[in-house]
Structure 1
Amino acid sequence: TSETLFFLLGEFPFITHLYEHRRAELLPDETLAIDGIKSLLLEARSVWLKKHDLQQHWLTPQTFSLLLKYVRNLTLLDRRLTPDLYTLALAAKQIAGDEFALTLLETARQYPPQRIPSHLTDLRIGIDHAEFPTGDAPWKNRLLGTELTWRTLPLKPAPPQEKKQSWQMQWDPYQQCSHPPEDDKIESFNTHVREQAKLLLGEDLARTEKFTSSLKDGLDIRETLRNWHTGDLYVKEIPPSRGTIEIVVLLFDSPSDPNKYPWHTTWYAEHDQESTLCFFATNFADNIIGPGISQAVYGGCMLIFPPRPIPDIWTDPRLEFAKTPEEHLVSAALLHSQEKRILVVSPHPPLTRWRRIAKKFKRQIVHLPIKRFSLQTLDRLRHFHVLNGRDVRSYASKYIRDFR
């Protein structure tokens, strides 16, 4: 069978097929033992992107370079010339997470000729025994090669569809709460972008003067180069920014597809270190991953810190004019902000319509490009879990897989 073909072939089934294809096409295969590993990683990445419907990703050539260096080091520690499947899966797990490691394992055992229909009975083969229609029997591979041994690699696979349906039937629609480690991540990111916004506001108010006795807030390189012919140095002084940023709007996918993000809701803070959170996201009910545990993906969210109760923005009649979920979040931030400015982190500058809405509410929009932050960080923030009650938090970590 395709699940046990690895124990019969001398190479990974995926790489064995590459050898057979090159020989059939009379192509050179001297370096395929190494190039096949690269082809395997690229194919696994394509499957992973399609599975998670990602338009942008962080499995870049730089990430693969780091992964391959790690694979090389592990292979040398095992005194091997080429990596085995365990080494590849271990490196993929630690560099890219459980999801990609599982996809890599599934891709490595793919062997297209196995898809050809056959009237012969399927056999299941292990390291030292095989399952025949008449029963199990011991067997031994007499071809010379590296000895196969069992090694354990803890991974959290996706649950089977039958269990998902059972868990979905048991879901209580009147209970929802967040996963605390993910709360800490988004609050930490919220604090970080607020600090970035303060620096941005301070730079707009910076004053430049000729250097006399103090460097103050550092050299002003631009003004110094502009006056290079005079030989004078110029320094800048950044005054304390007036006011703070109370509300942050994070737009991960803009413009967004309303059909992709049908879930609109408001979550209120459980304690004073959490923000009031309003967001639109994918439907959590479509991705149940454990008993009382589901996964969703943010399209965008609004955070109010310090937290305070506000009316649900998605049913507030004062915001009926908003045409898109992104505009709804921005308008709600402008309506509820107690400060003069709100911060919008998005892939593009604020639309002219948003600026007009800000003028209507006598507020200002401070924009921070989302490309300042790594795709890996953004993916970790966007993927979050919904728990069916606080009691689920005691065992949720057993089912939740980190999306690195």
Structure 2
Amino acid sequence: MHDVLRFSPRISCLPVVHGSGDFAVEVRRVMLSESFDCVAVPLPPSFRHAVEQGIGHLPQITIVAQPETEEYSTADWSPEESDPSTPQYSYVPIDPCQPVIAALRLAMQEHLPRAFIDLEVEEFELHGEVMPDPYALKQVPIEQFATAVLAGSPEPKSEQLRSRVQHMARRLRELEQGHRSILFVCPISLWPWLREAYRAGSTDEFSEPAVFDPELYQVDPATLLFLLGELPYLTGLYEQARFSLDSDENLSVDGVKEMLLSTREKYREELKNRGRKITPHLLATFLKYVRNLSLIERRMTPDLYTLITAAKQLAGDQFAISLAEVAREYPFRERLPLGEFKMSIERGQLPDGKIVELKNRLPGPPVTWRTCQLNRKPLKIDQEQWAMRWNPYSQCSWPPEDTAIERFRTHVKDRALSIMGNDLAKTEKFTTSLKDGLDIRETLRNWHTGNLYVKEQPPSRGTLDCVLMLFDSPADPRDYPWRITWHAEHQDESTLAFFATSPGEEMVGPGIAMATYGGAMFLFPPRPTPDVWQDRRFDFVDTLEERLLAAACFHSRQRHIAVMSQFAPGVGWRRLAKRYGRKLVHVPIAHFSQEAIQQLRMFHVLNGRQVRSYAEHFIRKA
């Protein structure tokens, strides 16, 4: 270890940022690369038994909590009045990514003596400070990192903190008498003042009051996020790497990438084909965006809020919710014979239900509440209740989705008209005008002649009043049991006939269901038509797509019909269109954004027009 971190030839100081997996890895590296015969930590002796017992339970997460001495009240007691004060507790998180816990854990495994050298106090005073991002340790040696924060480490101002520093310095001098090589793991904000106090050689002794015995609890898995320094998922990766002897040097970044892949699998499993396509390109864009957001907040690695914000803006609410759920997962959840402690920010709930205020003895970077609005997926019991109240004889659409699908219908129609015009395009040798542009293909074909060729695109002939969209073809009738014809509510909407998934399979709110288009036929301008699915004139066809195609050919007043599908219409479909005197214009679905297509396929069904007044509070896109 570098001389700048040595208090004396026998004492080496390792300044750490609490709650950092990178510093926990650095502690392990230092302890395995050098020889020590004692490990000293900044915790009081009263915590020793419970902390070491909790370390023995790892990878199960526990917490050691110590009640603080309550102040004596001189007010008159009254049975009608309850004590308004909330009990105060100080605690030590038994977190494998805590550098102090990592040092004690390794010392216990190597059977090294451990010294708890902090001062016992009746009421612990919390001193949280903002420190540089620990990821810098990947490029900067620990001694340079520690010296770089000297300018941001103010001298202790509180009397208790100065007393603790003096007491730990005196205890180090005592340990030095019986050990040859001591590793002292201390907070990075205190190490210069501890070194100064040690070298000053003060022999002042401080009286240590009687304190309550700390107790060990198991932490509720749902609240681990508030206890652990790293995200529970990343903490689990550190533990899994420890068991499998894999490298964990870059888990602070690589773990985020692995968490994203797990989130994608969870997202696909929940939404199946209704979810967005989480492509490698989208993930790369996501990581770049996360990097930029982290740099704006003066960090090198992202926190949970940054990840959720980026996920919401790039992949939607449901992906952000899936990411939040995956980030909270911790794989080791074996039940211990201990009381369950529920955590929050600076507050907690004891197994008996009592709410207490908490102070972390190993405080990491400050943690605060931040707001991020997400429309969560409703509970299963709520969905069942909404499904029971569903009225199958009162249905309507949601206007914003009507507007979106009508705009897309217009876009498909315009694309079909341009394709019709392409058949009439002419190419000729350039003379005096470029006309509609240079024909690159013909020019290259005649490159040896030295002539340029231009193309002339005449205006398209005719128009279209029917657009057929086949999102899933060939379609399995078992996947799309809901087949219906909807008439337009006003002149800006089309007459719509479609087949889709059953809306009762997924309820998103009271009177609000969601379904997915398999295929749809749009007639515009709208006109009254019999229900396509009940009309016996189309019973001669076999498939859902052919029934829509037959209805489109029958009800269309124009010669051409636009068909958007993955594959071009086959001979059978063209023969069917010819039977009605129609001609099909194929528009490949690949010409459009697959993400936009996926979003348009999902639509909501409202159980009456009155539901439109509150539907926006429940409707969310994947």
Residue aligning to 1:391: 610
CA deviations over 1:8-54 (Å, ceiling 9, x no partner): 21111111111111111111111110011111111101110111112
- Shift of residue 250, structure 1, vs aligned partner: 0.8
Residue aligning to 1:7: 226
Letter in 2 for 1:277: L
- Shift of residue 286, structure 1, vs aligned partner: 1.5
Contact 1:249 1:302 in 2 (8 A): yes
Say whether 1:271 aligns with 2:507: no
RMSD: 1.5
Letter in 1 for 2:378: P
- Shift of residue 369, structure 1, vs aligned partner: 1.1
CA distance in 2: counterparts of 1:326 and 1:146, whole angstroms: 59
Residue aligning to 1:99: 318
Residue aligning to 1:367: 586
Residue aligning to 1:132: 350
CA deviations over 1:242-282 (Å, ceiling 9, x no partner): 21121111111111222211100011111111111111111
Q: What is the aligned length?
A: 402
For structure 1, which runs of at least 5 residues remain unmatched after alignment?
Answer: none
CA 1:97–1:69: 2 relative to 1, 3 Å: same
TM-score by length of 2: 0.63
Residue aligning to 1:282: 501
Letter in 1 for 2:444: L
3-state SS of paired residue (1:199): helix
- Shift of residue 352, structure 1, vs aligned partner: 2.3
3-state SS of paired residue (1:386): strand
CA deviations over 1:338-358 (Å, ceiling 9, x no partner): 111111111112122212211
TM-score by length of 1: 0.96
CA distance in 1: counterparts of 2:587 and 2:340, whole angstroms: 58
Say whether 1:110 aligns with 2:316: no
Letter in 2 for 1:249: L
3-state SS of paired residue (1:54): helix
Residue aligning to 1:213: 432
Letter in 2 for 1:67: F
Contact 2:224 2:232 in 1 (8 A): yes
- Shift of residue 118, structure 1, vs aligned partner: 4.5
- Shift of residue 56, structure 1, vs aligned partner: 8.2
Contact 2:276 2:315 in 1 (8 A): no
For structure 2, which runs of at least 5 residues remain unmatched after alignment?
Answer: 1-219
Residue aligning to 1:51: 270
Contact 1:56 1:375 in 2 (8 A): no
3-state SS of paired residue (1:270): coil
Residue aligning to 2:570: 351
* Paired residues for 1:167-182 under 5 Å: 167-182=386-401
* Paired residues for 1:1-400 under 5 Å: 1-54=220-273, 57-114=276-333, 116-134=334-352, 135-400=354-619
Contact 1:272 1:306 in 2 (8 A): yes
Letter in 1 for 2:376: P
CA distance in 2: counterparts of 1:229 and 1:55, whole angstroms: 52
Letter in 2 for 1:316: D
- Shift of residue 140, structure 1, vs aligned partner: 2.1
Contact 1:8 1:125 in 2 (8 A): yes
- Shift of residue 57, structure 1, vs aligned partner: 4.4
- Shift of residue 119, structure 1, vs aligned partner: 4.8
Contact 1:289 1:295 in 2 (8 A): yes
CA distance in 2: counterparts of 1:122 and 1:348, whole angstroms: 58
3-state SS of paired residue (1:365): strand
Q: Which has the larger radius of gyration?
A: 2
CA distance in 2: counterparts of 1:56 and 1:321, whole angstroms: 35
CA distance in 2: counterparts of 1:311 and 1:119, whole angstroms: 69
3-state SS of paired residue (1:24): helix
Letter in 1 for 2:409: N
- Shift of residue 121, structure 1, vs aligned partner: 3.9
3-state SS of paired residue (2:230): coil
CA 1:355–1:113: 2 relative to 1, 3 Å: same
CA distance in 1: counterparts of 2:550 and 2:340, whole angstroms: 61
User: Bigger CA drift: 13-22 or 124-133?
Assistant: 124-133
Q: What percent of counterpart residues are identical?
A: 53
CA distance in 2: counterparts of 1:92 and 1:56, whole angstroms: 14
CA distance in 2: counterparts of 1:58 and 1:375, whole angstroms: 8
Letter in 1 for 2:303: D
User: Bigger CA drift: 95-104 or 68-77?
Assistant: 68-77
